[in-house]
């Protein structure tokens, strides 16, 4: 499969997209990575292209966030994208089925769907039909071996098969840092 043009999805505060983009650019450049951003990604999302494995990038960004959470100002989540497809149900089912081939017959998996723009079906509407496209593995909501992630961003959807640690919540890292600072 050819890598997608935009292989990293970053969510951010829609009111601070410009600042979030600049923080993301600075963080990626601090890691020695070149980055391009899609100009019309839409409110609350940044679609980026990094010339490295996006999973490795997410892990490096997490290390950076643990050292200095302010370095990722106004960003919330960083996740790799394996493929972009039109957000219609037929295209989503086909691509989810293809990406799910990476789930072993006895591996536990979970489907997570997030709709970033309100037009069209809700995440709740998509979970059942997309789950039916996965032919094997064992569904486990807590601590799965793999997470089949679908992010609907308007007319397109980013799809990825993630392992633990491949999806970064900057807010969680900030909260953990705050908690550690509060302990005596």
pLDDT at 130: 95
pLDDT at 60: 96
Is residue 161 pLDDT above 80, yes or no?
yes
78, with CB counted inside 10 A (0-12, 13-18, 19+), is buried
| Cα 12 off chain centre by | 12
| Cα 89 off chain centre by | 20
Return d(Cα 63, Cα 168) in angstroms, integer: 10
pLDDT tens track for 170-179: 999 988 876 5
182: tokens are 């509060």
Highest mean pLDDT among 1-15, 17-31, 108-122: 17-31
Non-local CB neighbours of 75 within 8 Å, separated by 6+ positions: 10, 11, 12, 20, 23, 24, 46, 170
Residue limits of CATH 3.30.2130.30 in the chain: 85-162
pLDDT at 120: 73
- pLDDT over 90, % of the chain: 74
Fold classification of 85-162 (topology level): VC0802-like (3.30.2130)
pTM (predicted TM-score): 0.89
Residue limits of CATH 3.30.70 in the chain: 8-82+166-182
Q: Please count the other Cβ atoms lying within 10 Å of the Cβ belonging to residue 99.
A: 22
pLDDT tens track for 35-66: 999 987 778 999 999 999 999 999 999 999 99
pLDDT at 98: 96
Give the mean model confidence (pLDDT) for residues 143-148: 96
Give the mean model confidence (pLDDT) for residues 156-169: 94
Q: Assess if CATH 3.40.30 describes domain 8-82+166-182.
A: no
pLDDT tens track for 93-130: 999 999 999 999 999 999 999 998 766 788 999 999 99
pLDDT at 182: 45
């Amino acid at each position: 499969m050819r890598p997608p043009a935009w292989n990293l999805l970053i969510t951010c505060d829609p009111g601070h997209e410009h600042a979030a983009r600049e923080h993301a650019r600075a963080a990626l450049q601090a890691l020695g990575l070149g980055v391009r951003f899609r100009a019309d990604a839409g409110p609350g999302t940044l679609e980026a292209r990094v010339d490295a494995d996006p999973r490795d990038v997410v892990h490096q960004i997490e290390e950076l966030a643990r050292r200095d959470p302010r370095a990722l100002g106004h960003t919330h989540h960083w996740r790799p994208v394996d493929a972009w497809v039109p957000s219609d149900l037929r295209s989503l089912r086909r691509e989810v089925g293809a990406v799910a081939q990476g789930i072993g017959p006895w591996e536990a998996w979970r489907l997570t769907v997030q709709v970033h723009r309100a037009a069209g079906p809700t995440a709740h509407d998509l979970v059942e039909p997309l789950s039916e496209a996965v032919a094997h593995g064992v569904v486990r909501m807590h601590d799965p071996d793999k997470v089949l992630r679908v992010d609907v961003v308007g007319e397109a959807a980013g799809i990825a098969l993630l392992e633990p640690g491949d999806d970064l919540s900057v807010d969680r890292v900030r909260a953990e840092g705050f908690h550690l600072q509060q302990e005596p």
